[in-house]
Amino acid sequence: MYLKLENLQKTGAFKVRGAFFRIYSELDRCRRHGVVAASSGNHAQGVAYSASELGVRATIVMPETTPPYKVNATRSYGAEVVLHGSIYDEAYEKAIEIASSTGAVFVHPFDDPYVIAGQGTIGVEIATSIRDVDAVLVPVGGGGLISGIGIAVKRMLGGRVKVVAVEPRNSPKLYEALRCGRPVQVQVKPSIADGVVTKSVGELTYRIMSEVVDDVVLVDEDSIARAMFLLMERAKLVVEGAGALPVAALLEGYAAGAGKNIVAVISGGNADLTTIYRVILKGLSVDGRVAKLTLILDDVPGALYRVLEVLARYRCNILDIRHDRVGLEVPAGRALVEIVFEVPERQLLSTVKRELSQRATLIT
């Protein structure tokens, strides 16, 4: 398996490719009137950076709910940031209004032939680096990335190469579009892969994807988190949820029968620190290296000490502990204790639980 590391791009994601080429394609007009875009994420930074490099004035409309670090990152590339609305759709409408009133060139995040062509340079690089590719796994949001990659690899390597779209199960817009034969609005749920959570794919991208996409894989939230954790621990890569989708598909078993040479496009690495923290704890818990136990103890001196003595003997490091004797669910004369701790070896956890159950009532 090969990883195409777009998380190491300038601005931390593939978006800079399409943004740069879109601005470059009408550079004189862009320099005269500027560019405008709507985004709360990677597209904002891609447009801001590209405009700065090409000497173009950029205005980025971001929802008022955008985290400050994303706003600051966009401003750091020299763009003017306009905060408007509470969701992307409202920011998008404001960006269109600015473009109409000022003549600025609107840079669409995906449904634009030049943007698609810019993202397609990833496919060119894959095709020129690995001649015998069997499958390319690509995250799908609006569809610009996989449209460009699909055109490039199919043109350069032939139809034998499978182009596989990967979406979170919480936002199956391409899956439903292909099932219905047209772009449709889907009901989305929150996802750790927030960068690809959109209600619908684009009109142009749908037409292209209908021709170049061979398969669509839907992945669960736990698989996305596991993929992020695995990439951090094994490959030393910080990858956002959307960027980890192809690896999540492989973890769910997609590689079986897909061929020997599989390319997973790691589309971005702009994960916020709180998400990374939760993913790490989740991964350590799944691996049995961090455990959380809830016990009921007699509320007498020495009861908690006897529990901690077991953990110390097996070199378990306590991360957090909560002691409650007044909750309504706690029986009179007893205390509820929740302990989160590191386990030096996974196989020790069952031994620790067994010994603790001899000193307290083990709930979980």
Q: Mean per-residue pLDDT for 40-54?
A: 95
| pLDDT over 70 at 259, yes or no | no
Same domain, 167 and 306: no
Same domain, 253 and 348: no
What pTM value is reported for the model?
0.88
Q: How far apart are CA 228 and CA 230, in angstroms?
A: 6
Same domain, 86 and 41: yes
Same domain, 248 and 323: no
The rounded mean pLDDT for the chain is 93
Annotated active-site residue 15? The verdict is yes
Same domain, 123 and 267: yes
Q: How far apart are CA 318 and CA 244, in angstroms?
A: 30
Q: Which pLDDT belongs to residue 218?
A: 97
Looking up residue 254, the CATH number of its domain turns out to be 3.40.50.1100
- The answer to whether 103 and 129 are in contact (CB under 8 A) is no
- The answer to whether 329 and 323 are in contact (CB under 8 A) is no
- Provide the percentage of residues in the chain whose pLDDT is more than 90: 80
Same domain, 69 and 185: no
Q: How far apart are CA 219 and CA 172, in angstroms?
A: 10
Task: Exactly one of 40, 223, 267, 282 is catalytic; name it.
Answer: 267
String of b and e for 222-251 (b: at least 16 CB within 10 Å)? ebbbbbbbbbbeeeebbbbbbbbbbbbbbb
Same domain, 145 and 216: yes
pLDDT-derived band at 327, boundaries 50, 70, 90: confident
Quote the domain boundaries for residue 329: 288-362
Domain-embedded: residue 190: yes
Domain-embedded: residue 278: no
Q: Mean per-residue pLDDT for 162-167?
A: 97
| pLDDT over 70 at 35, yes or no | yes
Same domain, 242 and 309: no
Q: Which pLDDT belongs to residue 256?
A: 67
Q: Which pLDDT belongs to residue 87?
A: 82
pLDDT-derived band at 106, boundaries 50, 70, 90: very high
Which among 71, 106, 141 is the end of a domain?
A: 106
- Into how many domains does the chain fold? 3
Give the other-Cβ count within 10 Å of 4's Cβ.
Answer: 22
Domain-embedded: residue 4: no
Ranking 28-32, 165-169, 289-293 by mean pLDDT, the lowest is 289-293
Looking up residue 323, the CATH number of its domain turns out to be 3.30.70.260
Counting every residue written for the chain, the total comes to 364
Q: How far apart are CA 280 and CA 179, in angstroms?
A: 36
Task: Exactly one of 4, 15, 94, 154 is catalytic; name it.
Answer: 15
Domain-embedded: residue 8: no
Q: Which pLDDT belongs to residue 257?
A: 63
Same domain, 257 and 293: no
Domain-embedded: residue 6: no
Distances (CA, A) of 172 to 116, 178, 246, 275, 302: 21, 10, 15, 22, 54
| pLDDT over 90 at 332, yes or no | no
Which among 216, 248, 272 is the end of a domain?
A: 272
Q: How far apart are CA 124 and CA 230, in angstroms?
A: 27
Q: How far apart are CA 129 and CA 4, in angstroms?
A: 11
Q: Mean per-residue pLDDT for 55-64?
A: 96
Quick: pLDDT tens for 283-299: 888 888 899 999 998 88
| pLDDT over 80 at 261, yes or no | yes
Quick: pLDDT tens for 200-229: 999 999 999 999 999 999 999 999 999 999
Domain-embedded: residue 98: yes
Q: Which pLDDT belongs to residue 131?
A: 81
Domain-embedded: residue 280: no
Which among 67, 89, 106 is the end of a domain?
A: 106
Domain-embedded: residue 308: yes
